[in-house]
Amino acid sequence: MRLLLLACLRAQTGNATTAARIRSHLHAAGHICVLKDAFMYESPTEIANLTSTEKFDAALAIHLYKGGRLLQGSRIPFGIIFGGTDVNEDIKCEEKHRVMGAVLGEARFAVAFTVKMKELAAAEWPDARKKIYVQTQGIKTTPSETFDWYRFLQNAGDLLSRLRSGCGRCAAGVIGIPTDTGSLHVFLLVCGLRRVKDPLYLVDVFSDWHRRDPSVHLGIMGPAVDPLFTSEVKEKVKRAPGVHLLQEVPQDDLHAAMKRCFAVVNSSVSEGMSAAILEAMDLDIPVLARNIPGNAAIIKHKETGLLFSTPQEFVLLSKSLMNDPIMGREIATRAKDYVKKHHSWESERKAYQDLVLRLQ
């Protein structure tokens, strides 16, 4: 089949990497899958013209509203993949709720990343329950072997200086093995710079902590999804010692950066299923995540990660992780086992290859 896949394709975002992974799964089954950025189109008419001109047999879209609305009244069969904002945010808007219900009604099938996501959707649109399948994200990490950690940190000012000076045997601290009180601990927050990801949530408390303990640093890395909000983040970080904006990098370099940091952080207000969290778990790096439904669905507190509800609790949990390396290693080991068992890349591949046959 020749398939159209609509998604928000900004580079280095979760949607883009998920779309690329699904395309890879479908290509492996012999289908032709063409990615198109949903933001490039404004109406179902434009997509109808596209599917007719380029002779697509079927379509998929990530996000019921952002992508799915463009397939309303489609001349070709389509399936839909829920995004986190569908059931966490967009559902609160009456017009978006109406559109998403209509899209779900027309879709041959829908995919939710978690049982919780399916239940939330089924509560809003009961008639669609039987067509909603649960398929977790499949994870395969590919850290670059040529990644240059120093160059990655070149825009982090005092952090880079401390790395170059070899302060407190910092190299051991950076890879997640605290050696003494002089070790450098880099926490990495990976997210697109937009309000729902709330990258400023920990900035003030982290700066206060850094003033008392200069060994701790927070790196915020991700694309400028919201230009206005990105300016706000830059201004805030300028006045926040110990907090740094880091350049976004390709996925294999990101995975290498994760392997060099002490812990990966998530402070989002809302998540569907964070690929960054799962990738960190697969890479044996401890995760500290905000205690929201999307994160709690994949992290069991003190078993496979640490969940915090306030900035102050984040600091307390981080200190416990720094002071107890054995606990950190045990959490990381259990988290990796969890990803291997519940987020198999191979299982995800088979699931999408089977589901797309419903579009024939």
Condensed to tens digits (0 to 9), the pLDDT of residues 37-75 reads 998 999 999 999 999 999 999 999 999 999 999 999 999
The residue-averaged pLDDT of 304-321 equals 98
- Spell 88-126 as b/e; 16+ CB within 10 A means b: bebbeeeebbebbbbbbeebebbbbbbeebbebbbeebe
**Close Cβ partners of 186 (under 8 Å, ≥ 6 residues apart):** 159, 173, 174, 217, 218, 219, 260, 261, 262
Domains of the chain: 2-138+344-359 (3.40.50.2000), 149-342 (3.40.50.2000)
Among the ranges given (57-66, 130-139, 148-157, 321-330), the one the predictor scored with the smallest mean pLDDT:
148-157
Give the CA dihedral 254, 256, 261, 265, nearest 10 degrees: 30
The residue-averaged pLDDT of 161-175 equals 43
Question: Is the whole model's pTM more than 0.85, yes or no?
Answer: no
